[in-house]
Amino acid sequence: MRGELTAKGRATRQRIIEGAAAVLRERGAALATLDDIMARTGTSKGQLFHYFPAGKDELLVAVAQFEADQVLEDQQPYLGCLDSWEAWQQWRDVVIERYEAQGDECPLGSLFFQIGRSTPGTRAIVIELLRQWQESLAAGVRALQGAGLVPADVDADIRAAALLAAIQGGVSILLSTGRSTHLRAALDQGIADLRGTSHAAV
């Protein structure tokens, strides 16, 4: 059905998703009702089911996709252009700032728990988010290699995977403890070790 939507229809659908995301962030995915979402977005039940025929679950998956896109969006423009040590440092600052501001609430995590972590829809969203995130980090390592700042024999994909894991762990510890020490250590050590690879080559 989505393919048949007019430009106006797509805009309405997007407005519902963004309004629902705001409600879910405020109330929590477990407590927010369709009535809350209709009230916030000024839509009728008929409209809601027109855009999300399968109801709340379909809407929740769409919101999860929106929140996943937001994770990467919030790291731009830095994540998309990691071609100097300054860019890596600016990206690091933005990541820490974003997650410290978010504190111990994770909109995406609550959504995943609400929808069911292992349903195919949410699993696909996580896998794609991680894939894009890791690909951007690997592109950043390759950009440093292109600029001669990192030796060519560094495995960009493994570095990116390890750095991504460290960020995820730092965020997950922040969610559990309220402290960003580990996220900071993960980013600072990850970048320092990447810089350290050039010692052997110099």
CB of 60 to its own copies, least distance (A): 16
- Residues from 81 through 120 that contact its own copies (CB under 8 A): 104, 112-113, 117-118
Give the total of residues touching its own copies (CB under 8 A): 40
Q: Does the protein bind its own copies through residue 172 (CB under 8 A)?
A: yes
Which of 31, 160, 39, 25 has its CA nearest to residue 106? 25
CB of 79 to its own copies, least distance (A): 17
Cα–Cα distance measured from residue 113 to residue 108, given in angstroms and rounded to the nearest whole number = 9
Q: Does the protein bind its own copies through residue 181 (CB under 8 A)?
A: yes
**Residue 100 amino acid letter:** E
Residues 6+ apart with CB under 8 A from 157: 134, 138
Binds its own copies (CB under 8 A): choice among 22, 72, 81, 173 = 173
Cβ atoms within 10 A of the Cβ of 19, count? 19
Burial class (CB in 10 A: 0-12, 13-18, 19+), 104: exposed
Interface contacts to its own copies, rule CB under 8 A = 104, 112-113, 117-118, 123, 126-127, 130, 158-159, 161-162, 164-173, 175-178, 181-183, 185-186, 188-190, 193, 196-197, 199-200
